[in-house]
Amino acid sequence: MEPVVELKNLTHVYVNDREASLAVEGLNLTVHPGEFISLVGPSGCGKTTILSMIAGLLHPTNGEVLVYGRKVEGPSPDVGYMLQQDYLFPWRTILQNAAIGLEVTGRLQRESMDHLTQLLDEMGLEGTGSLYPQQLSGGMRQRVALVRTLSTDPGLLLLDEPFSALDYQTKLQLEDLIAGTLREKNKTAILVTHDLSEAVAVSDRVVLLGKNPGRIRRTFEVPGHIRETQPFYARKEEGFNELFHEIWREMESEED
């Protein structure tokens, strides 16, 4: 099967008036259909830069990004992006917020509202369509952001720390919901996170990046029995702690 994402010798240099800084260098990564990948690594190792290039928001200085076999030249409806902040518009109802993706891509139709209401229901947000964002909790708002992202039916989801602003309990609930939903809908996902336990619990593969500049340091396969378990319970599975500590030690041992 054709890969969903191919990063080939990907390099990015940020340039301003005074200096140039190498953020990502010579990165190669292939992500297959239905895979859930996490990118982890120390602060500043280039995780967000990599997602921005896959999303077509930032052009690589060198190398190339292919999504579904096509060179990325800009944002595409095949790719959904979810961030730490939900960016809901306070003056729009929940349903109107959920509809924005379809609106801006010119695909909003009469029957779309039924589909969005169904998606809100699936996310446990029954009856919230006519409320406003400020009437919902942080976890609920982030679920609305997920509905907005899924509404355009992108095959690939880029998740940049979508759980990190939430309290611990909400974060665990949302991890289960998002990982379960994406697997059920057979989406491909790349998650950026600082939380190694989250990375192991939700992913098929954890890609550890090293810093100065961002390069792949090591890739860890998550064993099948952990992958098949809901993230919350995965943390109690045999081998989970060992893998967590292996990644942790590797990250700590970075010398450069």
- Write out the residues near ligand ATP by the rule CB under 6 A: 14, 21, 23, 43-49
Shortest gap between Cβ of 71 and ligand ATP (angstroms)? 21
Q: Which is nearer to ligand ATP, 16 or 253 (CB)?
A: 16
Q: How many CA atoms lie within 13 A of 120 on its CB side?
A: 24
Q: Which is nearer to ligand ATP, 49 or 128 (CB)?
A: 49
Q: Which is nearer to ligand ATP, 161 or 175 (CB)?
A: 161
Instruction: Classify 9 in phi/psi space as left (phi over 0), alpha (psi -120 to 50) or beta.
Output: left
Shortest gap between Cβ of 10 and ligand ATP (angstroms)? 12
Q: Which is nearer to ligand ATP, 61 or 112 (CB)?
A: 61
Show the DSSP H helices in the chain as ranges.
Answer: 47-54, 94-98, 100-104, 112-122, 138-150, 168-184, 196-202, 224-227, 231-234, 240-252
Shortest gap between Cβ of 160 and ligand ATP (angstroms)? 8
Per residue in 36-69, is it b (16+ CB within 10 Å) or e — as a string? bbbbbbbeebbbbbbbbbbbbebebbebebbbbe
Shortest gap between Cβ of 196 and ligand ATP (angstroms)? 13
Q: Which is nearer to ligand ATP, 1 or 20 (CB)?
A: 20
CB 20 within 8 A of CB 13: yes
Shortest gap between Cβ of 44 and ligand ATP (angstroms)? 4
